[in-house]
Chains A and B, each alone.
Chain A
Amino acid sequence: MPDPFDSILYKYVYCTLSSTDDVACVGSGLFGGGLLPGGLEWLAYVLTAVTIVAVLINAILGGVLMMIWGERRLLGRFQGRTGPNRWGPFGLLTPVADAVKTMFKEDVMPTVSDRLVFTAAPILMLFPALLIYAVLPFGAGTWLADINVALLFIIAIGGANVLAIVAAALGSGNRYAMFSAMRAVAMLISYEIPLVISLIGVLMLSGSLSLVAIVNAQTLPFFIVQPLGFFVFLVASMAELNRTPFDVAEAESEIVAGYMTDYSSMKFGLFFLSEFAATIATSGVITAVFLGGWHGFDPIPSQIWFIGKMVAVLAVIVWIRASWPRLRIDQIMNFAWKALFELTLINLVVSGILLLIWPSPSTPELWYMAGVNWVVFLASIYIFGKVLGPKHDPVAAGNIQSGITLSDSDAPAIPAGGGD
């Protein structure tokens, strides 16, 4: 078990609260401390936990508001318009107005719904998104928990939001919501596999599942050494997040708003919030695993480096959203099983062979590995593009009318040309 006091967050807050003669804080003369008398160490523990959680959750809420603003501004730029710019400098206060509006809307509950499940679904959705932050290292010595299996924990928790989508669909009892939930479950289960396997290359290089150890192992950022793993992880994460090229679960041109159709007011707000919180958390994971985490150069503090890289990843995610149209569900499934899955297996085999040649790679050896991996990456992407390209899409080639057939005759027709 790593010592929680490896994290300066705990050490600072705990030692400020606890008595001056607490053995755990002796020697850390930095901290004034002594807010509580001796013998109340347990209260100091509890208060430390409560303080850190309260600060973190508020930071996430602030981050989500900033991201809503940033995404709308960036989308505006990508689409050749200005974006929100009326309230506050650069329109910075627009998300605040959005939040206030959402909170004061009427909370409508459809009569056919299962009220308990209907209410529980948004809460269930937020819960995994927030839990990911528990293991993210935001900077050198700045993390909440450095558990040995952090990466596996993130994947396990991240998959749990499907349950919330199904709960929302069953709770509202709406047909569009049902279709949305079926699409979401099929898509998320499929993309979980490339998501997990794409990380194995990184795990073999770092030899640990702990995010702190992975960041420490990156003398060379792993997106240089593992381009294929990085590419597949980025794409599969977008699918897990239900973001635009993969947002068939809430495709407004086909199924209204999917599982969110019947939700209004703050219940809808919670879905929105958890989607953005999960996006920020995922960009944090990508930063920690592939972009070298908090590593940078002085005098900029490590925490600023981490957040800067996170913002860069978020900008790329918004860029992807602005650039690609929505895929059809059959294209999405084909892409997961025929392209991403095989690409991860290629990455796995190549990384394994390279690690047999250089068992514990030094920095120059990492560069050799990167060279081989980039050649493999570009070659395999080229070949897969040739084999699975638009010429081989049965719908585009006109061989069949639609890629999938839904058994329910009441199903909304899926446009053959795909959404936009």
Chain B
Amino acid sequence: MNGTIDVVFWIMSAGAIGAALLVVTVKDVFRAALALAGSFLAVAGIFFLLQAEFVAVAQILVYVGAISIIVAFAILLTRDMGQGNQTQSSRFLVVGGGVVAALFVLVAGFVAYDTAWSDRDAALNDNTMAVLNGQYEEVTDASGEIILIASTDTDVAMNGVFSDSTGWLGGLLVRDYVLALQVLGVLLLASIIGSIALVREQATK
């Protein structure tokens, strides 16, 4: 059903871009925050479409469920009762937007140029079923290209690369990259302690 996927992709993309435009053009900050949540949700929809379910749900959990709510809470707390919401000024919209757009095009262009699309497409078309059945696995060879080799690791073979991305990600996080995860946790703890130290009331003398 490639046609359906295209239709859904265009709807989601239009939603994400439209909502993102609203975020920077709407005057009222709370409306902008709501539009931001909508944009995040549309991006999560695109992740679902790409069958990256875990990333999609993490996107909803972290961005819609946490970041948007923190933003809304900040607006609620800083709001002036008499005058309504703070308004945002967009004086440097064109310059700022231009710089960000240029950076984004640079990154996206680099990724698009650097990825070996044709090899990957061919490999996918020929061997998707083989990967799904766990007979092959994807590896990156010396020149940075993704190739398929016969699977040796039974764990990977059992999971398959595409069928259970959540389990695969979990395995990577708590086996291969467990040290990075721990360091990340310590970093977060340090930043929390730091922010508490910054905002706590000074002891009266």
Contact, CB under 8 Å: B69 / A189:
yes
* In the complex, residue of chain B having the shortest beta-carbon distance to the beta carbon of A210: B166
Across the interface, which residues of B come within 8 angstroms of A169, CB to CB? Answer: 76
For chain B, what secondary structure do more than half of its interface residues adopt (helix, strand, loop), or is it mixed? helix
Nearest 8 pairs of A and B residues by beta carbon: A156-B61, A159-B65, A156-B60, A166-B72, A152-B57, A149-B57, A149-B53, A153-B57
Across the interface, which residues of B come within 8 angstroms of A114, CB to CB? Answer: 28, 30-31, 84-85
Contact, CB under 8 Å: B4 / A209:
no
Across the interface, which residues of A come within 8 angstroms of B76, CB to CB? Answer: 166, 169-170, 178, 181-182, 185
Once A45-B4, A160-B65 are accepted as A-B contacts, the answer to whether A170 and B30 lie under 8 Å apart by CB is yes
Closest-CB distance, A222 to chain B (whole angstroms): 20
Contact, CB under 8 Å: A162 / B69:
yes
Q: Which A residues lie at the B interface, using CB under 8 A?
A: 1, 42, 45, 112, 114, 116-117, 120, 124, 147-149, 152-153, 155-157, 159-160, 162-163, 166-167, 169-170, 173, 175, 178, 181-182, 185, 189, 192, 209
Once A42-B1, A42-B4, A116-B31 are accepted as A-B contacts, the answer to whether A148 and B60 lie under 8 Å apart by CB is no
B157 in the interface (beta carbon within 8 A): no
CA distance A181 to B31 in the complex (A): 17
Across the interface, which residues of A come within 8 angstroms of B69, CB to CB? Answer: 159, 162-163, 166, 185, 189
Closest-CB distance, B203 to chain A (whole angstroms): 18
Across the interface, which residues of A come within 8 angstroms of B151, CB to CB? Answer: none
Interface of chain B residues 48 through 86 with chain A (CB within 8 A): 51, 53-54, 56-58, 60-61, 64-66, 68-69, 72-73, 75-77, 79, 81, 84-85
Across the interface, which residues of A come within 8 angstroms of B135, CB to CB? Answer: none
CA distance A169 to B84 in the complex (A): 12
* In the complex, residue of chain B having the shortest beta-carbon distance to the beta carbon of A147: B53
List 4 other contacts, CB 8 Å, given A114-B30, A114-B85: A117-B31, A149-B57, A159-B61, A178-B79
Once A114-B85, A153-B57, A156-B64 are accepted as A-B contacts, the answer to whether A120 and B166 lie under 8 Å apart by CB is no
CA distance A92 to B60 in the complex (A): 39
Contact, CB under 8 Å: A167 / B30:
yes
Interface of chain B residues 19 through 63 with chain A (CB within 8 A): 28, 30-31, 34, 37, 51, 53-54, 56-58, 60-61
CA distance A157 to B40 in the complex (A): 13
* In the complex, residue of chain B having the shortest beta-carbon distance to the beta carbon of A120: B34
Closest-CB distance, A176 to chain B (whole angstroms): 12
30 contacts between A and B (CB under 8 A): A45-B4, A114-B30, A117-B31, A124-B34, A148-B165, A149-B54, A152-B54, A153-B57, A153-B60, A156-B58, A156-B64, A156-B65, A157-B60, A159-B61, A159-B65, A159-B66, A160-B64, A162-B72, A163-B37, A166-B69, A166-B73, A166-B76, A170-B75, A170-B79, A170-B85, A173-B81, A181-B76, A182-B76, A182-B77, A185-B72
Q: Contact partner of B61 among A124, A147, A155, A170, CB < 8 A?
A: A155
CA distance A169 to B34 in the complex (A): 13
B163 in the interface (beta carbon within 8 A): yes
Across the interface, which residues of A come within 8 angstroms of B58, CB to CB? Answer: 152, 156
Q: Which of A112, A155, A163: most chain B Cβ within 10 A?
A: A163
CA distance A45 to B66 in the complex (A): 35
In this complex, how many residues of chain B approach chain A with their Cβ under 8 Å: the count is: 34
B138 in the interface (beta carbon within 8 A): no
* In the complex, residue of chain A having the shortest beta-carbon distance to the beta carbon of B59: A156
Across the interface, which residues of A come within 8 angstroms of B4, CB to CB? Answer: 42, 45
CA distance A156 to B54 in the complex (A): 11
Across the interface, which residues of A come within 8 angstroms of B3, CB to CB? Answer: 42
* In the complex, residue of chain A having the shortest beta-carbon distance to the beta carbon of B81: A175
CA distance A182 to B30 in the complex (A): 15
CA distance A182 to B84 in the complex (A): 17
CA distance A166 to B70 in the complex (A): 11
CA distance A185 to B165 in the complex (A): 32
User: What mask results when residues 184 to 201 of chain B are scored 1 for a CB within 8 Å of chain A, else 0?
Assistant: 000000000000000000
Contact, CB under 8 Å: A148 / B64:
no
Across the interface, which residues of B come within 8 angstroms of A159, CB to CB? Answer: 61, 65-66, 69
CA distance A182 to B69 in the complex (A): 11
Closest-CB distance, A209 to chain B (whole angstroms): 6
CA distance A170 to B68 in the complex (A): 14
* In the complex, residue of chain B having the shortest beta-carbon distance to the beta carbon of A181: B76
* In the complex, residue of chain B having the shortest beta-carbon distance to the beta carbon of A192: B65
CA distance A209 to B61 in the complex (A): 15
Closest-CB distance, B80 to chain A (whole angstroms): 11
